[in-house]
């Protein structure tokens, strides 16, 4: 079973940037794609970005043009570059396949506040 570890969160002012990382304990080469989710208290976890091997990337409307998902050549690490951050981006961010195939990691907290 693949284990996922997210990192890179923190406190940032509105308009700032952060880069999140998701490391898999094993090769995710065989996985068709990976995604970044976020969750705020009282709401369902939502998929905000996905990278699919043969079909590129997809983004939620709320983050399109500001967030960029990528993965390393070994396909064991997935990144989320977040620019022009807004207070409404505040959430715990998680990675998983878009189908949520694996156990969730602990996530990484992103707080956007002045």
User: How far is Cα 10 from Cα 110, in angstroms, rounded to an integer?
Assistant: 5
Q: 21-66, pLDDT tens digit by residue?
A: 999 886 555 667 899 999 999 999 999 999 987 669 999 999 999 9
User: How far is Cα 27 from Cα 77, in angstroms, rounded to an integer?
Assistant: 9
In this predicted structure, the answer to whether residue 1 has a pLDDT above a threshold of 80 is: no
Contact between 58 and 91 (Cβ < 8 Å): no
Terminal Cα distance for the chain, rounded: 40
User: How far is Cα 60 from Cα 74, in angstroms, rounded to an integer?
Assistant: 26
């Amino acid at each position: 079973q693949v284990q996922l570890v997210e990192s890179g969160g923190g406190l940032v002012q509105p308009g700032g940037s952060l880069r999140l990382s998701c490391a898999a304990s094993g090769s995710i080469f065989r996985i068709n794609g990976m995604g970044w989710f976020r969750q705020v208290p009282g709401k369902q976890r939502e998929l905000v970005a996905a990278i699919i091997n043969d079909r590129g990337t997809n983004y939620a409307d709320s983050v399109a043009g500001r967030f960029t998902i990528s993965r390393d050549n070994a396909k064991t690490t997935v990144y989320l570059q977040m620019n022009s951050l807004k207070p409404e981006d505040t959430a715990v961010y998680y990675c998983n396949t878009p189908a949520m195939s694996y156990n969730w990691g602990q996530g990484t907290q992103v707080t956007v506040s002045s």
